[in-house]
A and B are shown apart, each in its own frame.
Chain A
Amino acid sequence: MNNNFSKKYGPYFYILPSMVFLSLIFVFPMIQNLVKSFYRTSFDGGKSVFYGFNNYIFLLTKDFLTRAAAWHNVKLLMLIPMLLVLSIFFSVILSGKIRGAKIYQTFMFAPYIISIVVVGVVFSRMLRFDGIINLMLTKIGLGMLAKDWFGRTQYALYAIIVVILWRELPFGIILFSAGIRNIDESIYEAAKIDGANWLQTVFHITIPQLKGIINFYVIYNIMMVFAWMFTYVFVMTKGGPGNSTTILELQIYNLAFKKYQVGMASALSILLFITIFIFIYFQFRFRTSLLEER
């Protein structure tokens, strides 16, 4: 009897602690967000007022700051083709049984292990008007290109994109290197017998064989652009100059902690959640199928 009970309900005790933690970071906050998004909260901690859909209506139709932030997120999507092409390019070269591939790999992965805060303070200094990048440009005779990269509205976002590219590329290289290692050697042998040259094998064998990983990587990066960019922007420009580099995450942060409009911040959180829900769904499908295949 006792044994039967533990067989039937025992497993739930094993997963119970994890369920408690996960409801803390997901179920509870999302319910809170949803409720608060219908209220107007006051600055001084006084009573909140029911506000209906007005927070949403304001964000979607009137708030130019939020619209600018969303547009910057969309602009950040240009990272994806860059990351994809460069990481496939480098992993193809690295997989060519090149001498010292291990050492190159270690060097290339280095950017991925340091804190974004470190990345931010180092690049902020290097990209200043009197920084080392501009000095080098001047030395090689390109002094007219020297700029205060983070200080000008028209360049700041692109400077951030370059920094993100620098740091996030290693993950793609790790991913595609492993993918190429998993490709069956005999396919290449067959192609070689048929007289295929190196470039043909890359485009007709390697890239098609990597299709699954490419799908994963693109979805991963779309989510990264919408959900995990806060620290880069926060440590390098804080959204400035002006609002030329605000993104949706930073806008939520500012609404909640600068303007104390928690209701508005909650409504924007819900909108951002809906935006990325579809990508979460794709990843969810992807990961489940991986678990089932094992």
Chain B
Amino acid sequence: MKLNFRGIPAHIILIIFSVIALFPFYFMTVTAFKTNNEYYENLYAPPEDWTVENFGVLIEKHKFFRGFLNSAIVTIASIGLTIIVSVFASYAYSKMDFKGRKFILSLTVSLSSIPIMIVIIPIFALMSKLKLLDTYAGVSIVYASFMLPFSIFFLTGFFNSIPNELLNAASIDGCSRFQTLFRIIMPLSRPIITALVIVNSLWVWNDLLIAMMFLRLDRMRTIAVSLHLVGGRYALNPVLIQAGAFFVAVPMVIVFLVGQRYFTRGLLAGALKE
């Protein structure tokens, strides 16, 4: 019994705060299923006739399904790349001895806080020179690079907790360094890699700036960018915008509800020892 502020007052505070946290979700959801006329007559209540017409318009006219696919492709490709590169690097940082190990690791990790805006203009110029603008490959490389510092930090921390005796035993059994990675370390790391995938995919799926700059063609747009273009403060079609917001939010709400445990663990990695 750590603290004894429980009872009714605590519940009242928590309920009020939960309502504030969830109210925009409520507004977005009920508005998404209204017609434009009903929105102006009935701002808060759920719609009298639920309609999915808005989603039809989004998919037909604003290519939201295509955007959904683009987002999925970019998320999967960039996270796959991140995991492969960071597993190798973290394995070396955690289990091998080499000159400059500590220094390079610290430098790498500190880059996790580099602000994207101050480096993105030169990256844009470079990608343009390499003819990688408006390609899935180009944008995936950019996303993966920004995810690497945190991912390496996260995985190195976990690999450090794997006992060296386990690796020594494997090497006595004749496993090479490379085989040890796949036979011993990877199977042990499954939960931690899941956490990393969830945290990273939230970031890629939700990002606007990089997607907007590196995928400029209509057919390449990610869903966050499509929503940004449909939105706008003075846009005339509020129900369509809220339907778009709903469309973008729902996949991540599902990911969150399914993987909440992993999500929390992933977020905490930067701040706490496990």
Contacts and interface: CB of A to CB of B under 8 A. Distances in A.
Q: With a 10 A CB-CB cut-off, give which of B104, B113, B120, B209 has the most chain A CB atoms.
A: B113
Contacts of A266: 121-122
B93 A15 contact: yes
Nearest to A284: B110
A128 B255 CA distance: 31
Interface residues of B, number: 102
A178 B108 contact: no
25 contacts: A18-B89, A22-B149, A25-B146, A28-B126, A29-B123, A33-B121, A36-B122, A90-B14, A104-B14, A104-B18, A106-B257, A106-B260, A110-B25, A113-B256, A114-B253, A115-B206, A118-B249, A124-B233, A126-B24, A150-B233, A170-B21, A227-B116, A252-B117, A281-B110, A287-B270
A15 B93 CA distance: 8
A18 B109 CA distance: 11
B11 A98 contact: yes
B121 A265 contact: yes
A117 B206 contact: yes
Contact of B148 (A22, A110, A170): A22
B245 A118 contact: yes
A166 B21 contact: yes
B139 interface: no
Interface stretch (B46-54, B57-65, B153-161, B182-190): B153-161
B2 interface: yes
Given A117-B206, A166-B24, A291-B160, 19 more contacts: A14-B89, A17-B85, A18-B88, A18-B89, A22-B148, A26-B111, A30-B122, A93-B14, A96-B5, A98-B14, A110-B21, A114-B253, A135-B43, A174-B264, A178-B264, A226-B115, A227-B118, A230-B116, A231-B208
B1 to A, nearest CB: 7
Nearest to A237: B233
A262 B121 contact: yes
Interface in B132-164: 141-142, 144-146, 148-149, 152-153, 156-157, 160-161
Nearest to A93: B10
A53 interface: no
Q: Nearest 7 pairs between A and B by C-beta?
A: A227-B115, A115-B206, A14-B92, A29-B122, A284-B110, A32-B122, A29-B119
Contact of A288 (B22, B106, B120): B106
Nearest to A31: B122
Interface in B81-109: 85-86, 88-89, 91-93, 96-98, 101-102, 104-106, 108-109
Contact-size category for A = 35 or more
Contact of B92 (A11, A29, A151, A283): A11
B134 to A, nearest CB: 16
A18 B93 CA distance: 12
Interface string A186-222: 0010000000001001100010000001001100100
Contact of B126 (A24, A115, A118): A24
Interface in A28-80: 28-30, 32-33, 36
Interface of B: 1-6, 10-11, 13-14, 17-18, 20-22, 24-25, 27-28, 31, 43-44, 85-86, 88-89, 91-93, 96-98, 101-102, 104-106, 108-111, 113-123, 125-126, 141-142, 144-146, 148-149, 152-153, 156-157, 160-161, 177, 202, 205-209, 224, 227-228, 230-233, 238, 241-242, 244-245, 248-249, 252-253, 255-257, 260, 263-264, 267-268, 270-273
B17 A90 contact: yes
Contacts of A136: 44
The B contact surface, by secondary structure, is helix
A117 B6 contact: no
Contacts of B104: 15, 19
A171 B263 CA distance: 11
A89 B163 CA distance: 38
Contact of B145 (A24, A95, A114, A132): A24
A113 B85 contact: no
A252 B13 CA distance: 41
A205 to B, nearest CB: 9
A4 to B, nearest CB: 13
A113 B3 contact: no
A21 B227 contact: no
Contacts of B122: 28-30, 32-33, 36, 266
Nearest to A24: B145
A104 B20 CA distance: 12
Contacts of B149: 22
A252 B249 CA distance: 29
